[in-house]
Amino acid sequence: MNETPSGKIVIVGGGHAAAQLCGALATAGQGGRVHLVCEEAELPYQRPPLSKAFLKNPAEALQSFRAQAWFADAGIAVHRADAAVAIDRAGRTLRLRSGAVLGYEWLVLATGARARRLPDLAHGPNGPGGPQGELDNVAVLRSAADALRLRTLFDAAPQLTVLGGGFIGLEIAATARALGKEVTVLESAPRLLMRSVSPELSEHVLQTHLTSGIDVRLGVAVGGFEIEGQHLVALHVDGQRQTVGLMVLGIGAVPEQTLASDAGLACENGVVVDACMRTSDPHILAVGDCTRFPEGHAATLADNAGRRLRLESVQNANDQARTAAATLLGREEPYAALPWFWSEQGALRLQMAGLMPADGTRHRRPGTNPTSFSILHYVGDRLVCAESVNAPADHLAARKLLETGKSPEPALACDAAVPLKSHA
């Protein structure tokens, strides 16, 4: 990738990865080469607060990464409220919805993910969903527009049903409960956060939400949606009819890869990239939630050699953007960052470092009070993952240990930790 530095870089998407990439390129004095194409009207902003402080407090504003003037000073041309609609790979151009056509030397897809929707609720022009593709009392949460709509819907809704017991669903449930709403969480799996956390952490999260007054139902079959006009009136839970006030879909996200797949780039539930974030077209990179990438961190590699991953986290978006910046600047710096993540759900601050192994042993390390502890995951005697609950010092120590590969610090020594059952 030793192209002339004057080659234009077009970044599609105005989220975390795009903002980080703009920052890295501007720092390298290359902002003048960059066009940033955002389908949203806002300048890039922080997404995590949308399910937390922003949803809770009507006075809370969006947290932009940088002001308009910063982009102008850096020489970055920002195209807002104008989605990219097609890539011409042969001609190296990108067409925007407005009809504008941008030539590129390098194109970077930072298109993130979309909230998963339910076919039964038939969004779109032919279904009962309205012009926004939503029933009037069914919401998803991915963008600032979604969050503003949900904040408005919250005003009039004493009762909330959350479909899905994943991170975002539980954050919304906790926020709604803190606002005094009657909240029900419906989860089809036998435990909360099943794909992401240990059984012990699932149980702690469940008990915390139950104690706060959230009605959590696990292992349920949900269907039989009754829709009148634009309104979801009721659904059936294990065959029992339940009326619905407001419902939020927290059933995961799908990578936004339409542009890439339409252009014939390799996609496998995510735009396939190599360790330097190059797609199957050497002039197109991809970063963040939309990518499927080769796992590269030493702490997890031994267990997962050759595995390709898709992650949805701020860490992944930021670190992949740094890798892409290096690639664009002619340096090969393969992505090998340690995955880490956090979630805030009412009184719970969950922090994860590393990835849960498929097999291994777990130890519970008590914290300074009954609501604070960590679950440490080992493969043999090697720490590969740490889940911390209200224990930020453990989380930071685990990250340091996993990042440097050095033997456990006193802060994480396992002698005070109680062995738990091995993974089945």
Ligand X SMILES: Cc1cc2nc3c(=O)[nH]c(=O)nc-3n(C[C@H](O)[C@H](O)[C@H](O)COP(=O)(O)OP(=O)(O)OC[C@H]3O[C@@H](n4cnc5c(N)ncnc54)[C@H](O)[C@@H]3O)c2cc1C
Binding site for ligand X (CB under 6 A): 12-18, 37-40, 47-48, 50-51, 83-84, 110-113, 141-142, 168, 256, 259, 288-289, 312-314, 317, 341-343
Token pair 């997890």 is found at: 300
In the complex, minimum distance from the CB of residue 353 to ligand X, in angstroms, rounded to a whole number? 12
Q: Is residue 63 a contact partner of residue 107, using CB atoms and an 8 Å limit?
A: no
Q: Which is nearer to ligand X, 138 or 227 (CB)?
A: 138
The three-state secondary structure class of 297 is: coil
In the complex, minimum distance from the CB of residue 309 to ligand X, in angstroms, rounded to a whole number? 13
Q: Which is nearer to ligand X, 19 or 379 (CB)?
A: 19
CA distance linking residue 173 with residue 163, whole number of Å? 10
Size (the chain), residues: 424
Q: Which is nearer to ligand X, 299 or 379 (CB)?
A: 299
Q: Which is nearer to ligand X, 70 or 342 (CB)?
A: 342
Give the Cβ contact number of residue 214 at 10 Å: 23
| Helix segments in 121-166, DSSP class H | 144-155
Number of residue whose CB is nearest ligand X = 15
Token pair 């609609």 is found at: 85
In the complex, minimum distance from the CB of residue 140 to ligand X, in angstroms, rounded to a whole number? 9
Q: Which is nearer to ligand X, 162 or 417 (CB)?
A: 162
In the complex, minimum distance from the CB of residue 176 to ligand X, in angstroms, rounded to a whole number? 13
In the complex, minimum distance from the CB of residue 87 to ligand X, in angstroms, rounded to a whole number? 10
In the complex, minimum distance from the CB of residue 261 to ligand X, in angstroms, rounded to a whole number? 12
Q: Which is nearer to ligand X, 14 or 129 (CB)?
A: 14
**Residue 230 carries which side chain, given as an amino acid letter?**
Q
Q: Which is nearer to ligand X, 38 or 386 (CB)?
A: 38
In the complex, minimum distance from the CB of residue 381 to ligand X, in angstroms, rounded to a whole number? 29
Q: Which is nearer to ligand X, 48 or 367 (CB)?
A: 48
Q: Which is nearer to ligand X, 28 or 85 (CB)?
A: 85
In the complex, minimum distance from the CB of residue 233 to ligand X, in angstroms, rounded to a whole number? 27
Strand runs labelled E in 300-372: 308-309, 340-345, 348-354, 361-366
Q: Which is nearer to ligand X, 33 or 79 (CB)?
A: 79
Nearest to 84 by CA among 65, 106, 102, 105: 102
Q: Is residue 214 a contact partner of residue 173, using CB atoms and an 8 Å limit?
A: yes
In the complex, minimum distance from the CB of residue 79 to ligand X, in angstroms, rounded to a whole number? 8
Nearest to 281 by CA among 97, 109, 112, 38: 109
The three-state secondary structure class of 290 is: helix
List own/partner pairs for 203-209 with CB under 8 A and 24 or more apart.
Answer: 204/373, 204/389, 205/170, 205/345, 205/348, 205/350, 208/345, 208/346, 208/347, 208/348, 208/371, 209/170, 209/173, 209/174, 209/177, 209/185, 209/345, 209/346
Nearest to 40 by CA among 180, 159, 148: 148
CA distance linking residue 141 with residue 145, whole number of Å? 9
Q: How far is CA 1 from CA 4, 109, 330, in A?
A: 9, 17, 6
In the complex, minimum distance from the CB of residue 175 to ligand X, in angstroms, rounded to a whole number? 10
